[in-house]
Amino acid sequence: MEEVRELKEVLEKVEAKILAAGKMYGAMNFVVWMNVMLLFYVLMGIFELPGWGIALYWMAGFGGAFWFTGKIWQRLAALMRASGKKGEVSKFGSILIFVSWIFGATLGWILIPSTSIAVSEGARMAVGFLSFITVSIFGMWLVFARYGGIEREMVPAFLIPALGIPFAWGMSTGAMVWAGFVVALGFTVTIMWYLYSAFKAIG
């Protein structure tokens, strides 16, 4: 009985460490995306990027972010497989996540800015940006909920930007900068929640 109890404790500790590693992976994802966004704002303050320059930056940002988070996922997947758990991502699930980001980018960066909604061009860009983040991350959250489990920690990352859309709609100046802070707030809350969950798992 003593051996069984000790084995159970070891398995529980391993389970907790895997759960904590998964939560830390979630936090790292949003840290990477926030760095991509903040670097965009830094460059926008220094250079007058044309439309093709902005598109090129985000393409490079997407590529770099996916490469980096993919490297982190490989380490997490190896840890999961070593403990006898499934450590592979569904190809269909990955496609759905990619589609959600493409749909969000099309809506936020092409469709909304090309309309006459909101009070100014800056406000339209801000609404588009917030819509891009909201739709893309909400779609990703739905995929995770369907194939891996509900990630409650991710909710602020799309809910806070969604709540900011009506306010950005009526801003005549400074809307895009304000939208960046709103997205950063949503990401920061998500990162803090993920880290809290990780420490709670091993605490």
Q: What digits encode the pLDDT tens for the residues 190-199?
A: 999 999 999 9
Distances (CA, A) of 190 to 7, 47, 185: 34, 30, 9
Q: Which helix (H) or strand (E) holds 45?
A: helix 2-46
- In the structure encoding, which two tokens stand for residue 65, read together? 């972010």
Give me 18's structure tokens: 């895997």
In angstroms, rounded to a whole number, what is the distance separating the alpha carbons of residues 177 and 175? 6
Single-letter amino acid, residue 10 = V
Type and span of the H or E element at 88: none
**How far is it, in rounded angstroms, from Cα 101 to Cα 88?**
21
Question: What local confidence, expressed as pLDDT, does residue 171 receive?
Answer: 94
- 86 has a pLDDT exceeding 70: no
Spatial separation of the C-alpha atoms in residues 125 and 133, rounded to whole Å:
12
Token code pair at residue 93: 């699930």
pLDDT tens digit string along 158-189? 999 999 999 999 998 999 999 999 999 999 99
> Mean pLDDT: which of 13-22, 50-59, 79-88, 179-188 is highest?
179-188
Mean pLDDT of 142-166: 91
Digit-coded pLDDT (tens) for 35-57: 998 998 898 888 887 767 777 88
